[in-house]
Amino acid sequence: MNRKRYLFFDIDGTLLAGGYHDTYIPDSTVLALEKCRAAGHFLCIATGRLQAMAVDCMHELGFTNMVSDGGYGITIDDKFYGAIPLPKEPVVRLIDECDALEMPWALQTDNTVYRTAPDSRFEDFTHDPYMKTRVVPGLDPRSFDKIYKAYIACLPGEEQKLETLRELPWCRYHNEYFFVEPTDKSVGIKQILDRLGADYSDAIVFGDALNDMSMFTDDWTKVAMGNACPELKAKADLITTNVEDDGIYNACVTLGLF
């Protein structure tokens, strides 16, 4: 119990239970986090969300540390150290392909809760409530020094027409569009551990979904929730109970964190 551990938690399905619109943090999870803090452990969120989109949730859950931006952004003690952008040249070529195929698109070029599109077609196609879209006529990806995310509107399978997509990380959460974004949470975890001078073997990660696979490496201890996907469970060192069935609390007890 005297060994300081560095705990990294995914949000939905790991810290938060419930459906997409009815999420809540179980009381047992709140208690587990309080006990871990009291025991002197370092607690951190690890999310794919943009820092600006996740900072309120971070505070609501009582955290001040976060891996964000798909692993390419870090926050320590409420200080955001910035995020690594996507490689610009292939993103520009991807947008050129989208224009040729008349696929609507939008970009994330700064750390705000807005994405930017050249016209209304992206919003008209997606009707997406995830974040607001600002229209800037004549928007050109070449005019930005940094691009953090791109959003491409098309139905599943149509993305196969985009040759440049093979050079970029991407994922689909919605039927109407997909994200071009970093997808390696281990990058941010290692950045934080390096900044704190911590040994990787002292880290413990908690996750449930395929987008947590990147942080399930052999560098540290890996905990899969009982509700996790089979692929994640196959890589886990410990499989706990479901998030709503005291999963975080039970894992912490098993690991001797308090």
Last residue of a domain, one of 144, 161, 180: 180
- The enclosing domain of 106 has a CATH number of 3.30.1240.10
How far apart, in whole angstroms, are the C-alpha atoms of residue 124 and residue 181?
Answer: 22
Q: Which of 257, 253, 218 is nearest to 4 (CA)?
A: 257
Last residue of a domain, one of 160, 180, 200: 180
How far apart, in whole angstroms, are the C-alpha atoms of residue 250 and residue 3?
Answer: 19
The tokens for 186 are 């281990």
pLDDT classification of 238: cutoffs 50, 70, 90: very high
Question: Tell me, what's the pLDDT at 77?
Answer: 98
Residues 6+ apart with CB under 8 A from 98: 104, 105, 152, 162
Same domain flag for 74 and 188: yes
Same domain flag for 76 and 92: no
Average pLDDT over all residues of the chain: 96
Going by the DSSP 8-state scheme, the letter that residue 156 receives in this structure is T
Give the number of domains in the chain.
2
Question: Tell me, what's the pLDDT at 198?
Answer: 98
- 207-219: pLDDT as tens digits: 999 989 999 999 9
Same domain flag for 99 and 164: yes
Same domain flag for 13 and 46: yes
Please give the biggest Cα pair distance in the chain.
60
Last residue of a domain, one of 180, 201, 232: 180
Residue 155 lies in a domain: yes
- 82-124: pLDDT as tens digits: 999 999 999 999 999 999 999 999 999 999 999 999 999 999 9
Question: Tell me, what's the pLDDT at 130?
Answer: 85
Residue 76 has pLDDT above 80, yes or no: yes
pTM above 0.85, yes or no: yes
Can you list the positions of beta strands (E) in 168-239? 170-171, 177-180, 203-207, 221-224, 238-239
Same domain flag for 73 and 94: no
Residue 1 lies in a domain: no
Same domain flag for 155 and 30: no
Same domain flag for 77 and 201: yes
Query: Token pair 């891996």 is at which residue?
Result: 67
Residue type (1 letter), 110:
D
Same domain flag for 77 and 45: yes
Please state, as a whole number, how many other Cβ atoms lie within 10 Å of the Cβ of residue 117. Answer: 20
Same domain flag for 242 and 162: no
- Angular region, 213: left φ>0, alpha ψ -120 to 50, beta rest: alpha
User: 201 is in which domain, residue-wise?
Assistant: 6-83+184-254
Residue 19 has pLDDT above 90, yes or no: no
Q: Residue 6's beta-bridge partner residues? A: 42, 203
Q: Residue 108's beta-bridge partner residues? A: 149
Same domain flag for 47 and 97: no
50, 68 in Cβ contact below 8 A? yes
Q: Which helix (H) or strand (E) holds 187?
A: helix 185-196
DSSP string, 3-45: S--EEEE-TBTTTBBS-SSS-B--HHHHHHHHHHHHTT-EEEE
Rg over alpha carbons for the chain, rounded to the nearest Å, is 19
Question: Tell me, what's the pLDDT at 20?
Answer: 65
- 128-144: pLDDT as tens digits: 988 999 999 999 999 99
Residue 191 lies in a domain: yes
Residue 246 lies in a domain: yes
Going by the DSSP 8-state scheme, the letter that residue 118 receives in this structure is S
- The enclosing domain of 230 has a CATH number of 3.40.50.1000
Residue 2 has pLDDT above 90, yes or no: no
Same domain flag for 125 and 245: no
Same domain flag for 95 and 173: yes
